[in-house]
Amino acid sequence: MIKIAVYGKGGIGKSTTVSNLSAALADRGVRVMQIGCDPKADSTALLRGPEPMKTVLDLVRERKNDFALADMVRIGYGGTVCCEAGGPSPGTGCAGRGIIAALEKLSEKGAFEEYRPDVVFYDVLGDVVCGGFTMPMRPGYAEKVFVVTSGENMSIHAAANIAVAVEGFRNRGYADFAGLILNRRNVKNEDEKVEELARDIHSAVIGSLSRSDTVLEAEELGKTVIEAFPESGMAGEYRRLAEAVMRAAGGTL
């Protein structure tokens, strides 16, 4: 089992990227689990359809511990196992602490033993790197961290902060930084700026994605590009990125 945490600034296209990676791997026969670690609880929407699902923290609030593992997940495209950590009620609690509680509950309920995924993606908001948001990096969870970024200054700033956090935890047995994913916004000198960031953090850009209306068209249909437009150029980009992520994470296809 390969466990991967994908971070990135809010709005950078991280969840869309992760969902398309999950779909691309599922098409190759890989058993994938995707865990959304964002209070918005929309990480897996493109994989499982528009019907709302209970987050782990919803279940804990409403039913304490009186629920089964099956209540926490939904099976999506290609058999992907979808789960959303959720967040606290608006105006109360800490979203980071919510991630901790949700991931601990998944482990307690035996999620990995039951579904036996080959690959687990933790889709994590990267604007804030507090204790809770570093939970997926901790021993027993993700082994590799990737960051989705564009060439926009705020996105690069968030990516650099995440890289600093990973480096700071290196001696604790936390996840390793495995590389950057460039999700282009077509800003000036974008490739050069992201390559410079990669050098500064002693890492590499392991793959890139074009800015494409195909992605928006698929999202309007509530689907991944892989499902909605499997023969498109963007679907090919996501498939190549999935192969690159697996190589960088030490896996094979």
The whole-number average pLDDT for the span 148-156 is 96
Whether 54 is in a domain gets the answer yes
Q: What is the CATH number of the domain that holds 25?
A: 3.40.50.300
Active site residue 14: yes
Instruction: Judge whether residue 58 has pLDDT over 60.
Output: yes
pLDDT at 204: 97
Instruction: Categorize the per-residue pLDDT at 30 as very low, low, confident or very high, splitting at 50, 70 and 90.
Output: very high
pLDDT digits (tens, 9 = 90+) for 18-29: 999 999 999 999
Q: How high is the mean pLDDT of the chain?
A: 90
Active site residue 213: no
Tell me which DSSP letter residue 175 carries: P
Whether 253 is in a domain gets the answer no
Torsion (CA) 230, 236, 241, 246 in degrees, nearest 10: 70
Count the domains in the chain. Answer: 1
Active site residue 127: yes
The whole-number average pLDDT for the span 139-155 is 92
pLDDT digits (tens, 9 = 90+) for 81-111: 999 988 665 555 555 666 777 788 888 999 9
**Catalytic one among 3, 14, 105, 144?**
14
Q: Domain range spanning residue 13?
A: 2-248
E-only strand ranges, the chain:
2-8, 32-37, 74-75, 81-84, 119-125, 144-149, 176-183, 205-209
Whether 169 is in a domain gets the answer yes
